Amino acid sequence: MSDNAQTALAQRARHLDSEHLATDRRDAFVLPEGVIYLDGNSLGAMSVAARDATADAVTRQWGQQLIRAWNESAWWTAPERVGDRIASLVGAPSGSVVVGDSTTISLFKAVHAAARLRPDRRVVLTDPDSFPTDVHVTRGVCDQLGLTLELVSPRDAVARLEGSNDVALAAYSHVDYRTGELWDLAAITEAAHQVGALACWDLCHSAGVVDVGLTEGAADFAVGCGYKYLSGGPGAPAFLFVAPQHLAEFTNPILGWNGHAAPFAMSPDHVPADGITRARVGTPPVLGIAALEGALTAYEGLDMGDVRRRSLSLTGFFVECLDALGVDLPIVTPRDDRRGSQVSLRHPAAYAVVQALIARGVIGDFREPDIVRLGFAPLYLSHEDVLTAARHLRDVIDGAEFARPEHAARAAVT
């Protein structure tokens, strides 16, 4: 590549950064020196606010207020309060989202509740290529309720739904965790509704980067995790959305005191709370919620449409850089706008490519069988970072660094 072309690419990176200045939140985050972090889709980076909120929850609230913090620091209502913050990011109304538990458990609740709302239907659709926990938990619920789990790609979901009368629920991920493909939430939901079925969406790879539009897309249920693009911290609590029109009939399959209408009456009879509170189960994970609540302040003042445009610009520019730098790997992620905030590439030695990148300070991840997965968290990555990452990838490929034996040794958690 000529010096002129190099300079032009660098200039274009700076130009794009200036165009997207309004959504630059890099200063809100702490990242290690010399790291370009392309794994915010697996574990989002730590923000100053998340760090400080956790320290405050531990040292001042727990340490000094002790039991009084349930009132004085409003721990009790944190699941709904933080839920409302997330609702505003995924296009859902206040009072429709609650945080707590894991994504898997949230999906367990959603699928169970959806099946109860369609007692005459016997089929649940899900994507065979979903993140495995989605398939596991959905199959588990189907087995418990005597339903049939049918594995249908979201690509074929509309056709499967058309004219059918057996489907209770279509449960899909909004973005494919491996390929980064963004599915049409509104179209699949509409196809489900046309035949009397419901739709549940896993937003793990779209919340915080895509203008999800749950209300606009008429989604019935949704879940998502707090620790990817939302940067809520390792194992952050997940969120569960129940569309307002289903709340009165929502049945929680795990009945606990936090979902009770009067938890402190200590009555042995379970009376579900009004609204989304009935989706709660046990005592909320206060420290995890505190970190997540702090992290979400990074979105204050941002429009999700602008965040989405920045995200598309970053991933689009990365592909542009690969083309310009002559990195000739198959790109799995759609080049048009039907993508989340990642770019996935195929390479026969994908695991070692990722390790070689990490050795250079570019942290992405590997996904079976041959995928180099690079996530672009829009709030703390710039187009200049993107160009630098692309150059490192070129050097890894051109210099065959992936062939070095030290990059092939697998870690326990990949």
Q: Looking at the annotation, which residues are catalytic?
A: 131, 202, 227-228, 373
Identity of the residue, 50 or 169, whose beta carbon is nearer to a second copy in the bound complex: 50
Among residue numbers 232 through 251, which ones bind a second copy (CB under 8 A)? 233-238
Among residue numbers 100 through 139, which ones bind a second copy (CB under 8 A)? 101-105, 108, 128, 130-133, 135-137, 139
Q: Which stretch binds a second copy (CB under 8 A): 39-47, 214-222, 241-249, 340-348?
A: 39-47
Identity of the residue, 268 or 305, whose beta carbon is nearer to a second copy in the bound complex: 268
Count interface residues toward a second copy (CB under 8 A): 87
Q: Of 260, 308, 373, 383, which lies in the binding site for a second copy, with binding defined by CB under 8 A?
A: 260
Identity of the residue, 336 or 368, whose beta carbon is nearer to a second copy in the bound complex: 368
Q: Determine, following the binding rule CB under 8 A, whether residue 88 of this chain makes contact with a second copy.
A: no
Q: Determine, following the binding rule CB under 8 A, whether residue 336 of this chain makes contact with a second copy.
A: no
Q: Determine, following the binding rule CB under 8 A, whether residue 58 of this chain makes contact with a second copy.
A: yes
Q: Determine, following the binding rule CB under 8 A, whether residue 66 of this chain makes contact with a second copy.
A: yes
Cis peptide before 405 (omega within 30 of 0): no
Identity of the residue, 21 or 411, whose beta carbon is nearer to a second copy in the bound complex: 411
Q: Of 172, 183, 221, 227, which lies in the binding site for a second copy, with binding defined by CB under 8 A?
A: 227
Q: Which stretch binds a second copy (CB under 8 A): 82-90, 189-197, 288-296, 325-333?
A: 288-296
Q: How far is the CB of 234 from a second copy (least distance, A)?
A: 4
61, two tokens: 């609230």
Contact string 144-163 vs a second copy (x = CB under 8 A): x------x------------
Q: Of 34, 264, 301, 330, which lies in the binding site for a second copy, with binding defined by CB under 8 A?
A: 264
Q: Which stretch binds a second copy (CB under 8 A): 186-194, 195-203, 357-365, 383-391?
A: 357-365
Identity of the residue, 93 or 263, whose beta carbon is nearer to a second copy in the bound complex: 263
Q: Determine, following the binding rule CB under 8 A, whether residue 409 of this chain makes contact with a second copy.
A: no
Residue type, 39: D
Q: How far is the CB of 19 from a second copy (least distance, A)?
A: 28
Q: How far is the CB of 276 from a second copy (least distance, A)?
A: 17
Q: Which stretch binds a second copy (CB under 8 A): 70-78, 180-188, 317-325, 376-384?
A: 70-78
The total of other beta-carbon atoms located within 10 Å of residue 91's CB is 18
